[in-house]
Amino acid sequence: MVGKNLWSRMIHSWLKSADLQSLIGFFFFTKSIGTASLRQFVVLGLVFSFFLQPAVAAAHSLFIQSGRYQVSKGQQTPLFFCFGHHVPVADAVRREKLAFVRVIDPAGKVNEIALRDEKSLHSYVVSYKESGIYTLVAETVPGYYTIYIDDKGREHHSLKPLYALGDKATKIVTSLRSSQWTKSYVACDRPSMPFSGEVGLPLELIPQQNIFSLKEGDSVVFTVKNEGELYQGQGFWDATYMGFSTESEDMYFPRTEVSGGQFILPIEHPGRWFVRFFTKTKAPENKHEMYLEEKRTTTLVFEVRNSRRRPRRSAP
């Protein structure tokens, strides 16, 4: 239970850090909710402090990958994940974080992957039995991500909803409920024609060109769909290719705000490309004891091949 000692620490923190205009605003804000319970009062105070803070980086991103992106009929190759802030591989994924992992074959048949109860890259071997384009897809179980400051000024990261923090927090820096969807395409023999990249994810990045015909110097148009409809709101996209940087969240194309559900990605380098799009909206008031913002993320990994750099060596 949030206690009175938390409230006094919050007041002390605001007196030290907030400007006069913010404090006046907070005074009238608290008067307007004078009949609220102490717990609601303090949570609303934390909400108020949250919306005074600048946005910061947030939770891990999920990308699904394939060992190879063009295979022969009858070949097997593993799928695996990138989870975190480094490309191409970062942290392990807990089984309970994955709602599902599926392989959709060229005829549209959905094959569920039986997931192991472990924390790992969750690599599974996929058999490619038919010619055409396969789509690897996964969804996360929605989760919470909170960054908060304690009464000693220390920053903490938590995977719990706000109410679970008790009296630990004096300031909320970030409070999210996060949902993610990811996919990747694998061509078996020849890509299906015409190319259709849409598989019906709740939030989905859909390339408008045949991914497997792209080469360095091309551009690809991405459309974003939300629940099957063109997304009309504001969102953010970024992208990078494997090998561009070893550093966390150091993307070749940095985060860019976009509206209208469409953006263009110039292919300025061959390799494996990681593309991400997310939306962030305020949570409804009846959810403020759990989270303050809703973040929905969709990602895509695809490969742009290059010509061979060195001639093949003859067998001895």
d(CA 45, CA 9): 12
Q: Enter the tokens of residue 199.
A: 């598989």
Q: Convert the pLDDT of each residue in 267-288 to its tens digit.
A: 999 999 999 999 999 999 999 9
Q: Is the pTM of this model over 0.85?
A: no
d(CA 93, CA 148): 24
Q: Where in the chain is the domain with CATH 2.60.40.10?
A: 61-143+176-304
Quick one: pLDDT band at residue 14, thresholds 50, 70, 90?
very low
d(CA 194, CA 210): 8
d(CA 124, CA 118): 13
Strand-pair partners of 264:
221
**Residue count (the chain):** 316
Could you tell me where the beta strands, DSSP code E, fall in the chain?
61-66, 70-71, 76-84, 93-94, 98-104, 110-112, 119-120, 124-127, 132-140, 143-149, 155-158, 171-188, 203-207, 219-226, 229-230, 234-241, 253-259, 262-266, 271-282, 293-304
Q: Which CATH number fits domain 61-143+176-304: 2.60.40.10, 3.40.1390.10, 3.40.640.10, 1.20.20.10?
A: 2.60.40.10
Helix (H) or strand (E) run with residue 17 in it: helix 4-17
Closest CA relative to residue 99, chosen from 111, 112, 86: 112
d(CA 74, CA 54): 52
Quick one: pLDDT band at residue 241, thresholds 50, 70, 90?
very high
Q: Convert the pLDDT of each residue in 97-152 to its tens digit.
A: 999 999 999 999 999 999 999 999 999 999 999 999 999 999 999 999 999 999 99
